[in-house]
Structure 1
Amino acid sequence: MPRITRDSLLSHKAYLDQRNEWRQTVIPFKKLRTVLIGNNASLMFENELTVRYQLQEMIRVDKSMAADDLEHELAIYNELVPTRHCLKATLMFEFVDADVRATKRDQMLGVEHAIWMNVNHLGKRYATPNRMLGEPSGDRVSSVYFLSFQLEDADVADFIAGEPVALGIDHPAYNHSVDEISPQTQSVLIEDLKSSSQAS
């Protein structure tokens, strides 16, 4: 997919004028791209639209953002746009109870290396955490991780053909999986794979 540039973003005023329409489009679109893994983890697959929306929201909040700061954010958030054979996702953990949350933070070290995708039983492809996006190093646990799923040619072919796609987390402190993502979610991710392959 093409990278997002400063010139392709709406101005603060133009985005405010269109924000309601953006939200009506993007919020259900993000929901369609989200897979729940267990009761406390959600994996939201990013693409050009979701990343663009996040950048526009940043500009809305900080309408006086300096050009250099915006270029820095563009460099970071473009890393969440899918590339050839590589899906990108944001993983969020949510534990409502504060005591449980504190305990899990101690128990879940290294969880960012335990997230996997398995297309048509070809084998687990473990996600790679993206350090550019600011999640902590392995000595403490975050509630948000930014991940890349690098797929092999056979994975992509079967994914696009509609074969089952499983997702999971196999960390000792959080071990849950989804045997098959919904056809609706798979459909939008197929478009990501097709678009990123064509762009490359």
Structure 2
Amino acid sequence: MKITGKITADSLMTLEAYSKYRKENKLAIMAHRQLRSVHLGEHINLQFESETSIRYQIQEMLRLEKIFEAEGIAQEIEAYAPLVPDGSNWKATLLLEYPDVNERKRELARLIGVEDRVFVEVEGHARVYAIADEDLDRENDEKTSAVHFVRFELDPAMCAAVRAGANVKLGCDHAHYPAHVMIPAETLASLAGDLR
């Protein structure tokens, strides 16, 4: 899988080439995704996206749906490419993980707005709250969704601090889900690579 800085139809593999690549590289891709996942408390998992993870997602969708025509490929790129960080931000898939169906239903009703209360705090700088679900609204008056797409926009000083080795806290100050955690050093090193 070639990282080019921009996902285009020409930069994706054919279904046949991807099938071979997938067999040889699935463990490495899963390790990359694991490295960029941060658990916030017991039930929130933020999977920070990258060009690698989004290329993998697009290639998987093309494989699963057996999409090989230009229009279908363009639709998949249009759906997922906006999730690639673009130098001044981190983008993540926020998952609310409740294995028990009844608990999930109850908690999704209590956690309306949680996606707007998740933040990153670069050491020495103010908190940056997530900008959530820019593609479509994922909650209603009764519950929030179990999946949200969030973006943390960092100013140039924050980007420089992260690249220089500053610690970063990930947190949530929702009334029903107060939690925070320091982003592990290995994960932060990977995330620093997203910033210019």
Fold shared by both chains (TM-score > 0.5):
yes
The whole-number CA distance in structure 1 between the counterparts of 2:45 and 2:93 is 8
**Residue of structure 1 aligned with 2:24, choices 21, 28, 43:** 21
2:103 aligned with 1:100, yes or no? yes
Q: Is the 8 A contact 1:91 1:144 kept in 2?
A: yes
The whole-number CA distance in structure 2 between the counterparts of 1:82 and 1:166 is 19
**Mapping 1:13-92, distance limit 5 Å:** 13-64=16-67, 66-92=69-95
Q: Is the 8 A contact 1:46 1:88 kept in 2?
A: yes
**Residue of structure 2 aligned with 1:169, choices 149, 168, 172:** 172
**Residue of structure 2 aligned with 1:123, choices 121, 126, 142:** 126
The whole-number CA distance in structure 1 between the counterparts of 2:147 and 2:137 is 7
SS of alignment partner, residue 128 of structure 2: strand
Normalised to the residue count of structure 2, the TM-score between the two structures is: 0.92
Gaps of 5+ in 1: none
Q: Is the 8 A contact 2:87 2:194 kept in 1?
A: no
**Residue of structure 2 aligned with 1:191, choices 173, 180, 193:** 193
When the two structures are aligned, how many residues end up with a matched partner?
Answer: 192
More helix by share: 1
The whole-number CA distance in structure 1 between the counterparts of 2:186 and 2:192 is 10
SS of alignment partner, residue 192 of structure 1: coil
Q: Is the 8 A contact 1:46 1:80 kept in 2?
A: yes
Identity among equivalent pairs (%): 34
Q: Deviations over 1:88-138 (max 9, x none)?
A: 111111112222111111111111111100000411100101332x55144
Normalised to the residue count of structure 1, the TM-score between the two structures is: 0.90
2:164 aligned with 1:158, yes or no? no
| TM-aligned CA deviation for residue 154 of structure 1 | 1.6
CA RMSD of aligned residues (A): 1.5
Gaps of 5+ in 2: none
Task: Give 1:25's aligned amino acid.
Answer: A
Q: Deviations over 1:129-159 (max 9, x none)?
A: 1332x55144331111111100012211111
SS of alignment partner, residue 19 of structure 1: helix
